[in-house]
Chains A and B, each alone.
Chain A
Amino acid sequence: MSSLTSALPPAQGTGARIARWGLYLILLLFAAYYLLPLLLMIATSFKSPEEIRTGSLLSLPRDFSLDAWSYAWNRACIGADCRGMAPYFLNSLVIVGPAVIISTLFGALNGYALTKWRFRGANIVFGMILFGSFLPSQVILLPMAQTLGFLGLAGSAGGLILVHVVYGLAFTTLFFRNYYVSIPDDLVKAATIDGAGFFQIFTKIMLPLSLPILVVTIIWQFTQIWNDFLFGASFAAGGAQPVTVALNNLVNTTTGVKQYNVDMAAAMIAGLPTLVVYVLAGKYFIRGLTAGSVKG
Chain B
Amino acid sequence: MATLSINNVRKQYGSVEVLKGIDLDLTDGEFLVLLGPSGCGKSTLLNMIAGLETISAGEIRIDQRVVNEVHPKDRDIAMVFQSYALYPNMTVARNIGFSLEMRGQAKPEREGAVRRVARLLQIEHLLDRKPAQLSGGQRQRVAMGRALVRDPKVFLFDEPLSNLDAKLRVDMRTEIKKLHQRLGTTVVYVTHDQIEAMTLASRIAIMKEGVVQQFAPPQEVYERPANMYVASFIGSPTMNFVRGTLSAEGDRLGVSVGRERSGFLPLFQPPEQAGHWLGQEVILGIRPEAITCYDPAIAAGNPALVKVACGVNVLEPTGADTITYVELNGHEVVARIKPSDRVAEGETADFMIDMARANLFDPKTEQRI
Bitwise, A132-163 to B at CB < 8 A (1) or not (0) is 00000000000000000000000000000000
Q: Does B118 contact A (CB under 8 A)?
A: no
Residues from chain A with Cβ under 8 Å of B132 in the complex: 291-293
Tell me the chain A residues, 182-211 only, with Cβ under 8 Å from chain B: 184, 186-187, 189-196, 200, 204-205, 208-209
Asked if B88 contacts A193 (CB within 8 A), the reply is no
Complex Cα gap A294–B139 (Å): 10
B88 touches A293 (CB 8 A): yes
Question: With the chains together, A292 CA to B132 CA distance in Å?
Answer: 5
Q: How many Å from the CB of B210 to the closest CB on chain A?
A: 21
Q: Which residues of B contact A190 (CB under 8 A)?
A: 79, 81, 85, 87, 146
* Interface residue ranges of B136-187 to A (CB < 8 Å): 136, 139, 146, 163
A195-B99 contact in complex given A292-B88, A294-B131, A296-B163, C-beta closer than 8 Å:
yes
CB distance from B300 to the nearest CB of A (A): 56
Q: List, in ascending order, chain A residues with CB within 8 A of B139's CB.
A: 296
Chain A residues with CB under 8 Å of B130's CB are 291-292
Query: Are A292 and B89 neighbours in the complex by a CB distance under 8 Å?
Result: yes
Cβ distance A287 to chain B, nearest Cβ, rounded Å: 15
Closest to B77 in A: A193
CB neighbours (8 Å) of B52 from chain A are 189, 192-193
Q: Which of chain B's residues has its CB closest to A200's CB? A: B102
The answer to whether A194 and B77 have CB atoms under 8 Å apart is: no
A186 touches B98 (CB 8 A): no
Contact partner of A189 (CB less than 8 A), chosen from B81, B146, B163, is B81
Chain A residue with minimal CB distance to B149? A194
Interface readout for B295-312 with A: 1 if CB under 8 Å, 0 if not? 000000000000000000
Is B364 an interface residue when CB atoms closer than 8 A count as contact? no
Choose from B47, B83, B88, B98 the contact partner of A191 (Cβ within 8 Å).
Answer: B98
Not counting A193-B99, A194-B98, A195-B73, a sample of 4 additional A-B residue pairs whose C-beta atoms are within 8 angstroms of each other reads A187-B85, A194-B99, A195-B102, A209-B89
B86 is an interface residue with CB less than 8 A from chain A: yes
> Separation in Å of the A34 CB from the closest CB of chain B?
39
Distance in angstroms from B110 CB to nearest chain A CB is 13
Q: How far is the CB of A156 from chain B (nearest CB, A)?
A: 39
A194 to chain B, nearest CB (A): 4
Chain A contact residue count (CB 8 A cutoff)? 21
Proximity string of chain B (70-107) to chain A, C-beta cutoff 8 Å, 1 when within and 0 when not: 00110001110111111111000000001100110000
Q: Nearest Cβ in chain B — how far from A120, in angstroms?
A: 11
Query: Which B residues are CB-close (under 8 A) to A293?
Result: 88, 132
* A191 / chain B contacts, CB cutoff of 8 Å: 87, 98
Of A186, A195, A196, chain B has the most CB atoms within 10 Å of the CB of: A195
In contact, B73 and A194 (Cβ under 8 angstroms):
yes
Does any Cβ of A come within 8 Å of B50's Cβ? Answer: yes
B88 close to A192 (CB less than 8 A): no
Interface positions, chain B 120-137, Cβ under 8 Å from A, are 130-132, 136
- B44 nearest CB across to chain A (Å): 13
Contact-residue size bin, chain B (C-beta under 8 Å from the other chain): 20 to 34
Q: Name the residue on A nearest B139 (C-beta).
A: A296
Contact of B102 among A189, A196, A292, A294 (CB under 8 A): A196
Separation of A187 and B89 alpha carbons in the complex (Å): 11
Residues of chain A lying within 8 A (CB to CB) of residue B88: 209, 291-294
Cα distance A242–B89 in the bound complex, in angstroms: 39
Q: Which residues of A contact B89 (CB under 8 A)?
A: 205, 208-209, 292
Residues of A within 8 A of B51 (CB): 193
Q: Report 17 cross-chain contacts, Cβ distance below 8 Å, ordered by A residue.
A: A186-B82, A186-B85, A187-B85, A189-B50, A189-B85, A190-B81, A192-B52, A193-B51, A193-B78, A194-B99, A194-B146, A205-B87, A291-B88, A292-B88, A292-B89, A294-B131, A296-B84
- B residues 30-49 touching A (CB-CB < 8 Å): 47
Q: Which residue of B lies closest to A192 (CB)?
A: B72
- In this complex, which of A184, A191, A194 has the most chain B Cβ atoms within 10 angstroms of its Cβ? A194
CB distance from B164 to the nearest CB of A (A): 9
Specify which chain B residues have a CB less than 8 angstroms from the CB of A186 in the assembled complex: 81-83, 85
Q: How far is the CA of A292 from the CA of B72 in the complex (A)?
A: 26
Q: From residue B320, how far is it (CB to closest CB) to chain A in Å?
A: 31
In the complex, which of the residues A186, A191, A193, A208 has the most CB atoms of chain B within 10 Å of its own CB atom?
A193
- Kindly list chain A residues whose C-beta atoms are within 8 Å of the C-beta of B163: 296
Tell me the complex Cα distance, A200–B103, Å.
12
Contacts of B84 in A (CB 8 A): 294, 296
Kindly supply a per-residue 1/0 record for chain A positions 270-296, scoring 1 wherever the CB is within 8 Å of any chain B CB and 0 otherwise. 000000000000000000000111101
B75 to chain A: closest residue by CB: A193
- Closest residue of chain A to B79 (Cβ to Cβ) is A193
Docked pose: A37 CA to B47 CA in angstroms: 61
Option from A184, A196, A204, A291 in Cβ contact (under 8 Å) with B83: A184
Q: What is the distance, in angstroms, from B251's C-beta to the closest C-beta of chain A? A: 61
Chain B residues positioned under 8 Å from A195 (CB to CB): 73, 99, 102-103
A200-B73 Cα distance, complex, nearest whole Å: 14
Partner among B50, B83, B146 whose Cβ is within 8 Å of the Cβ of A294: B83
**A292 CB contacts on chain B under 8 angstroms:** 88-89, 130-132
Name the residue among A184, A208, A296 with the largest chain B CB count within 10 angstroms. Answer: A296
Verify A296–B87 contact, CB threshold 8 A: no
Q: How far is the CA of A200 from the CA of B139 in the complex (A)?
A: 23
Residues facing B in A93-141 (CB within 8 A) are none
